[in-house]
Amino acid sequence: MDATAAGTWKLGDLEVNRLGYGAMRLTGNGALGNSDGPPIDRDLAVRLLRGAVEQGVNHIDTAAFYFAPLRSANELINRALDSWRDDVVVVTKVGPRRAPSGEWLPMARPDELRGQVEENLRQLGRDHLDVVNLRRNGDTVTSVAEHFGALAELRDAGLIRHLGLSNVEPGHVAEARAIAPVVCVQNSYGLDARTADESGLVDLCGELGIAFVPFFALSGLRREAAAAPEQDARVQRVAAAHGATPAQVRLAWTLHRGPHVLAIPGTADPAHLAENIAAAALPLSERELALLNGAAEPAEVGPAGP
C-alpha cells in the first residue's frame, strides 16, 4: 500500500498523489522559531524523504523559512531528491521572513518576493519552482493583489511554474484569480478546526478546480504542536473499528472531504511516515463520516457498507 491509494489531483499541469509530505518537522522545533533541542540527524532526514518518495509521495511542501540553527528543510530536500527532480512536485511558500538568527521579521514587501523566490531556487538547486504559495500574514496584509501580482511577474519570467495562496479567505482567492491562475490554497484545516468550511473556502476551491491543501490537519486545536492524547471518542471509535490509529482516521477524514482536498502530514519518524501513508487507503463509510462530523450518532460503525 502506498500514497497512490488516495488518488490524484492536478496542480495546474502537474499531477500529484493526494497524500503528500510536509517538510516543516524535518528541522525540528527550529522550523517554528524555537531552536531548543538537538538537530535532526541529516542522514536520517535524507532517508526519510527518499522513503516517502519510494512509497508513492510525489508532492512535498516546504519553505525557505523552515530552518533550524544547523538544518534547512530545502537543503535536505535538495540532497535527498537529486535523483527524482522530475518526478516530485515541490511546493514552497514566500511572504514570511526570518533573520539568519531565526527571529521572525515583518512580511516581505512585494519588491522583496523575488529575493525569496531566488533563495528557494538556490536552496533547492532548481532552475524554476514548481509551485509557489503566497503566504498571507493575516494581521498586516488585507489585500493580496500587490504581492500576488509580483509573483505573477516572476511566473511570466520563468522562475515559477504555478501559483497558489496560503492563509487566505474566499475574497483573496477572487482577488488573486483576477491577476493569474491559482492552482492551490493552503490553510489550516482539520476535523477539530474547520473555519474553512464555515467560510465556504473548501467548497469554493472545489467549484473552481483548485486544490485545497490543509496544514495542521492532525493537530486539532493545538496547531503547531503534535496532536494531543486523543480524547475524541468518535475518532477513537472509528479507529478501533478499522484497527487504525486516531491520526490515520483524521487523515482519512481529510481525504474524504473532497477529491480536490490533499493532505501533507509531516513527521521525522519513519514509522509515523508509514502510518500516514497507509491512511491513504483507509475507507470510511457514510455512517463513520456522519459520526466524525458530529451530525449523527449511528448505532454502529465499521468498514462494511455505507
* 9 three-state secondary structure: strand
Share of the chain above pLDDT 90, in %: 76
How many CA atoms within 13 Å lie on the side-chain side of 151?
Answer: 32
Measured between alpha carbons, how far is 106 from 88 in angstroms, rounded to an integer? 31
Active site residues: 66
Which pLDDT does position 305 carry in this prediction? 35
For 213-264, write each residue's pLDDT tens digit.
Answer: 998 777 654 544 445 444 478 899 999 999 999 999 999 999 999 999 999 9
Which pLDDT does position 83 carry in this prediction? 87
For 153-167, write each residue's pLDDT tens digit.
Answer: 999 999 999 999 999
Task: Say if residues 46 and 73 touch (Cβ distance below 8 Å).
Answer: no
Measured between alpha carbons, how far is 28 from 39 in angstroms, rounded to an integer? 6
Which pLDDT does position 218 carry in this prediction? 74
161 Cβ contact list (under 8 Å, min separation 6): 12, 14, 128, 129, 130, 131, 155
Which pLDDT does position 220 carry in this prediction? 52
For the cut 90, the answer to whether the pLDDT of residue 33 exceeds it is no
Task: Say if residues 185 and 168 touch (Cβ distance below 8 Å).
Answer: yes
Which pLDDT does position 231 carry in this prediction? 46
Which pLDDT does position 32 carry in this prediction? 53
244 Cβ contact list (under 8 Å, min separation 6): 238, 252, 279, 282
CATH code reported for the domain at 9-233+253-283: 3.20.20.100
pTM: 0.91
Query: CA separation (Å) from 286 to 28, 126, 177, 297?
Result: 37, 44, 34, 12
C-alpha cell at 198: 464555515
Measured between alpha carbons, how far is 90 from 199 in angstroms, rounded to an integer? 28
Which pLDDT does position 226 carry in this prediction? 47
Range in 28-42, 59-73, 185-199, 225-239 the model is least confident about: 28-42
Mean of all residue pLDDT scores within the chain: 89
Which pLDDT does position 129 carry in this prediction? 98
Provide the 8-state DSSP code for 58: -
Encode burial over 181-191: b for 16+ CB neighbours within 10 A, e otherwise.
ebbbbbbbbbb
Report the pLDDT averaged over residues 97-105. Answer: 92
Measured between alpha carbons, how far is 196 from 217 in angstroms, rounded to an integer? 12
Report the pLDDT averaged over residues 24-34. Answer: 67
